[in-house]
Amino acid sequence: MGKSFDIGLEQLAGTGVPEEKAPASESGRYNVGLSVEGAQPGMAVPQGQTFYLETFGCQMNDHDSEKVAGVLVARGYRQVERPEAAKVILYNTCSIREKAAQKVFSRLGELRPVASEEEISGKLGAASTGAQAGVFLPQKSAQPGMAVLHEANHPSQRKIVNAGGGKIIGVLGCVAQQEGEGIFERAPWVSLVCGSASYRKLPQLIAELEAGNRRVTGLDTDTDETFETEITRRDNPWRAYLTIIEGCDKACSYCVVPFTRGPERSRASVSILEEVRQLAEAGYSEMQLLGQTVNSYADPSARKMRFSELLTAVAEVRGIRRVRFTTSHPRDFGKDIVEAIDAHPTICDQVHLPVQSGSTAVLRAMARTYTREEYLEKIALLKGARRPISISTDVIVGFPGETEKDFEETLSLLDEVQYDNVFAFKYSPRPNTPSLKMADAIPEEEKGRRLAILMDRQREIQRVRNEKLVGETFEVLVDGKSRRENQWSGHTSSNRVMNFTSPEQELLGDYVQVKVVSAMQNSLMGEMVGRT
């Protein structure tokens, strides 16, 4: 699965949650948990069809893509590595910041149809379905004698053919939801636009395209359904992602998620636990529970499990050795979650608790529903846990009206909390959000300055914190093998990246004990001292 990350220079490279990648095997791809059992009886399966799927953004998107891939595999499609080789090209998009959204349109631009010189000069007419109609080549591979259509002969004037040699190009996810049918205007060669709240309709939409429909959309957010599939094509053979709550009701003033992912809807605990049992039997030992605000989970079934009870129940499933969850909203983060971590070593000692700002005034303008002091009370709960819990956060700098003093308060919060990782972003004005109309916008240059200061401060905090770990031994789930001999990598329970040496021949997927010999700001170096 192709993967792009919206981190650029804005985000601290770290061991933490949002930008973490599934490891690549030696061959560069895992095809685990892949089957076609989900194909429905009587459904015409287009054998031999291929799809390319590229994912932008967060882990929720990564996991949605795993499910989308599952749906396509169930219909007889095969995943390929390059868009040129695919019949169906899908982009699962992110619009959390403007840069991320722009990236999608630049990808779509690369797929703009090319036409022959005759078409350009108008000899074949604008509505031609001839030579190049329906044939989409990445611009980079445009042949001599072919040219990208310009305004006077724009592809929107042509009939786009999805059958035969034509490709189906689809935009999924947050940009799809945000831009809607406007995507057809900007990139008329797109034929599928579907937001995440409508993914349940995907099989039907794909069937319509296969039947020759030119354009299909799934854009409803008015749903109480979650996207569950019979089959999910999982990319990592040890860690399984499970969405337990979709959407968001929090309405932070800067955020597009409530618009693009719809209202909060939780999946029944019985169904979650059943899937966890199946995954454990299939050999997955680490579960990561996902949700934009995962700890706002509200069990719709009669059991009415609280989030902390669900965590405990997942941790107790036979074969499960690690349970992670992300992202937690400070408002719904209570003592019961820390107690569950205390009681179950299987629940990882890692919590991602986005603060966004250290200034109560800015938090109020952001509509985050807590003050600096209330946030620090949650941190105190975590610090009072029986074992050290690694804490990470998200910060936005340069929110409208953020004064130098507000920014200083964010820096002092970093000093006070001593995070193990910080994902920092320049504020990006987003469509439909209340903050768009707020006064006192901070100039880009100033946002950049603040971001650089914050990153420097956090780098130093991480360097010092990691150095204190030298000499300690941690359990590591091995998920990577270097080309260099005896070099391996994995993650600790606190989600730190550990690179280590071991003369063992095969360790992938094993849990081993590693002693830290040196530390960098984003990772640890160690040597294996035993197995667990």
Could you list the residues that contact ligand SF4 (CB under 6 A)?
248, 250-252, 255, 257-258, 292-293, 329
Residue 280 or residue 422: which is nearer to ligand SAM going by CB? 422
Closest CA to 363 of 335, 408, 395: 395
- Shortest CB 81 distance to ligand SF4, Å: 31
Residue 258 or residue 398: which is nearer to ligand SF4 going by CB? 258
Under a CB-based contact definition with an 8 Å cutoff, are residues 150 and 121 in contact?
Answer: no
Site string for ligand SAM, 384-403 (x = CB under 6 A): ----------x-x-------
Angle value at C-alpha 81, between 75 and 82, nearest 5 degrees: 105
Binding residues with ligand SAM: total (CB under 6 A): 18
- Shortest CB 519 distance to ligand SF4, Å: 31
Question: Does residue number 430 form part of the binding site for ligand SAM (CB under 6 A)?
Answer: yes
Q: How far apart are CA 216 and CA 194, in angstroms?
A: 8
- Shortest CB 250 distance to ligand SAM, Å: 6
Q: Cα dist. 207→43, 67, 71, 204, 244 in Å?
A: 9, 17, 11, 5, 28
Residue 189 or residue 227: which is nearer to ligand SAM going by CB? 227
Paired with 524 in beta bridges are 498, 519
Question: What phi and psi values does residue 468 have, to the nearest 5 degrees?
Answer: -65, -15
Write down the residue that tokens 């709550």 correspond to: 245
CB-based burial label for 523 (10 Å; 0-12, 13-18, 19+): middle
Residue 461, binding choice from ligand SF4, ligand SAM, none, Cβ under 5 to 8 Å by partner class: none
Return all residues near 395 (Cβ < 8 A) that are at least 6 apart.
354, 355, 356, 357, 410, 422, 423, 424, 425, 454
Residue 114 or residue 197: which is nearer to ligand SF4 going by CB? 197
The strand ranges marked E within 328-417 are: 350-352, 390-397
- Shortest CB 455 distance to ligand SAM, Å: 14
The interface with ligand SAM within residues 293-312 (CB under 6 A) comprises 293
- Shortest CB 135 distance to ligand SF4, Å: 40
Return all residues near 69 (Cβ < 8 A) that are at least 6 apart.
1, 51, 53, 79, 232, 233
**How many residues make up the chain in this entry?**
532
Question: Does residue number 254 form part of the binding site for ligand SAM (CB under 6 A)?
Answer: yes
Residue 427, binding choice from ligand SAM, ligand SF4, none, Cβ under 5 to 8 Å by partner class: ligand SAM
Residue 310, binding choice from ligand SAM, ligand SF4, none, Cβ under 5 to 8 Å by partner class: none
Return all residues near 84 (Cβ < 8 A) that are at least 6 apart.
137, 138, 141
Residue 430 or residue 481: which is nearer to ligand SAM going by CB? 430
- Shortest CB 397 distance to ligand SF4, Å: 15
The two tokens of residue 95 are 């619009």
Residue 166 or residue 258: which is nearer to ligand SF4 going by CB? 258
The interface with ligand SAM within residues 442-481 (CB under 6 A) comprises none
Among 23, 195, 354, 526, binds ligand SAM (CB under 6 A): 354
Cis, bond preceding 326 (omega within 30 deg of 0): no
Please identify, among the stretches 106-114, 331-339, 420-428, 508-516, the one whose residues bind ligand SAM according to the rule CB under 6 A: 420-428
Question: Does residue number 370 form part of the binding site for ligand SAM (CB under 6 A)?
Answer: no
Residue 258, binding choice from ligand SF4, ligand SAM, none, Cβ under 5 to 8 Å by partner class: ligand SF4
The two tokens of residue 116 are 């022959």
User: Which amino acid is present at 411?
Assistant: L
Question: Does residue number 255 form part of the binding site for ligand SAM (CB under 6 A)?
Answer: yes
Report strand pairing: 421-426 vs 390-397: parallel
Residue 394, binding choice from ligand SF4, ligand SAM, none, Cβ under 5 to 8 Å by partner class: ligand SAM
Question: Does residue number 326 form part of the binding site for ligand SAM (CB under 6 A)?
Answer: no
Among 285, 327, 359, 494, binds ligand SAM (CB under 6 A): 327
- Shortest CB 255 distance to ligand SF4, Å: 3
Residue 216 or residue 379: which is nearer to ligand SAM going by CB? 379
Under a CB-based contact definition with an 8 Å cutoff, are residues 242 and 275 in contact?
Answer: yes
Under a CB-based contact definition with an 8 Å cutoff, are residues 117 and 149 in contact?
Answer: no
Closest CA to 252 of 376, 435, 374: 435
Q: How far apart are CA 377 and CA 123, in angstroms?
A: 72
Question: Does residue number 232 form part of the binding site for ligand SAM (CB under 6 A)?
Answer: no
Residue 247, binding choice from ligand SF4, ligand SAM, none, Cβ under 5 to 8 Å by partner class: none
Question: Does residue number 96 form part of the binding site for ligand SAM (CB under 6 A)?
Answer: yes
Interface ranges with ligand SAM (CB under 6 A): 58, 96-97, 254-255, 257, 292-293, 327, 329, 354, 356, 394, 396, 425, 427-428, 430
